[in-house]
């Protein structure tokens, strides 16, 4: 899969999550839903790795 195809999947998933949930939620809610959508929709498990940064 090319970089453009990977980017297309990521952007489509992000747009779907945002259009479904709408504006005004915390970033963590969008992150959780985007992670689920990427896992559900794509077979790109190796490309999309969830990382948590603690500050």
Radius of gyration of the chain (CA): 12
Tens of pLDDT, residue by residue over 20-31, are: 999 999 988 998
Rounded to whole angstroms, the Cα distance separating 42 from 12 reads 11
Q: What angle do CA 34, 30, 4 make, to 5 degrees?
A: 40
Torsion angle of alpha carbons 9, 27, 39, 42, nearest 10°?
-10
Per cent of the chain over pLDDT 90 is 27
Residue, of 24 and 10, whose pLDDT is higher: 24
Rounded to whole angstroms, the Cα distance separating 34 from 10 reads 9
- Three-class SS state of 43: coil
Q: What is the mean pLDDT of residues 29-54?
A: 72
pTM for this model (two decimals): 0.72
Instruction: Domain ranges for the chain, please list them.
Output: 3-41
- Split at pLDDT 50, 70, 90, the class of 18 is very high
């Amino acid at each position: 899969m090319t970089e453009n195809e990977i980017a297309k999947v990521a952007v489509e998933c992000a747009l779907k999550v945002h259009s479904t949930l709408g504006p005004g939620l915390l970033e963590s809610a969008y992150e959780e839903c985007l992670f689920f959508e990427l896992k559900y929709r794509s077979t790109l498990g190796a490309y999309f790795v969830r990382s948590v940064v603690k500050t």
